[in-house]
Amino acid sequence: MKTWTPTRLPDPMVRRDSGTGWRALFAALFFLLSIAGATAARAEDLMWGGLIVAENPPKDGGPNVSPKLPPALAGREKQIGRIFGYKNLRVIGQAQQKIKTGEEDWLVPSKRFYLRVDTKNPIPNGYLVGLQLYQDDNVLVEATVKLARGNPLYIRGPQVGNGQLIIALVCARESAWPKPKAPAAKPAAAPAPAPMSSPVSTPVPGPSSGPAAVPTV
C-alpha cells in the first residue's frame, strides 16, 4: 500500500521576508550612493559670513551713504533693507570658508564683535549651522539654523547705536561664486619725445668777386 505524502507549499511569509530583504538592500545601496554624490557636490561649496550694521540716514538731512556690499550679497541691498527696515548697510566684518567635510569651524571677525560659525553636519541641499555672536567674552546671540545652498540667511542681532546688527550667511557652489573683477590695466606711458636737434645750415655761396672759372675742354 502506497503512502501519500503531501507536497509542502512555499510559505508565503518566507517569500515576503525575502522580498523585504531585497528592498532593504536596494534602499541601503541607494542611500550610500546618494551620500557619495552629495559629498562630491559639497566639496565645491563656499560659505560666506558677514556682520552688517544697518542704519537709517540722520533726520537732519545728512547724506544717505550705503557702501557697496561684497559680491556675496551683491544686488540684495533692497531685500535686506525691506526685511529689517533700514536704508544704509555697511559690512563691519566678513570671512569665507571652503567646505570640505561639512563640519568646519571658523570665525568672522570685526573690531567690536566676532561670530563663530560651526557647520555641524550636512543636510539635504545645505547645512545645519551653529552660530555664536560674541562681544569680548560675552555671548550675545546663540542659535542653530538650517542654511540652504543658494538662499542667504539673515539673523537680527543686537542694537548698535541707532542701528541694528545683522548676521548674514550665504552658501553656494564655488563654480557659481561671484569672481572679483581684476583691476583694469593702466595704459603704458607713451615714450618721451626725443629732443629736437638744431637744423644744420648749409652755407650759401656768395657772389664771386673774381671771374668765373671756365671749364677746360
pLDDT in tens, 16-71: 444 555 555 445 444 444 444 444 446 579 999 999 999 998 877 655 666 788 99
User: Is the pLDDT score of 165 beyond 90?
Assistant: yes
Average confidence (pLDDT) over 153-162: 93
d(CA 56, CA 151) in angstroms, rounded, equals 25
What residues does each domain of the chain span? Answer: 46-58+65-174
Q: In this predicted structure, what is the pLDDT of residue 44? A: 78
Average confidence (pLDDT) over 124-152: 94
**If DSSP codes are grouped into helix, strand and coil, which group holds residue 138?**
strand
Nearest 5°: phi and psi at 99?
A: -90, 120
With pLDDT > 90 as the criterion, what percentage of the chain qualifies? Answer: 43
pTM confidence score: 0.64
**If DSSP codes are grouped into helix, strand and coil, which group holds residue 3?**
coil
Least confident of 33-42, 84-93, 168-177, 179-188: 33-42
Fill in the DSSP letter of residue 98: E
Give the count of beta carbons closer than 10 Å to the beta carbon of residue 72.
22
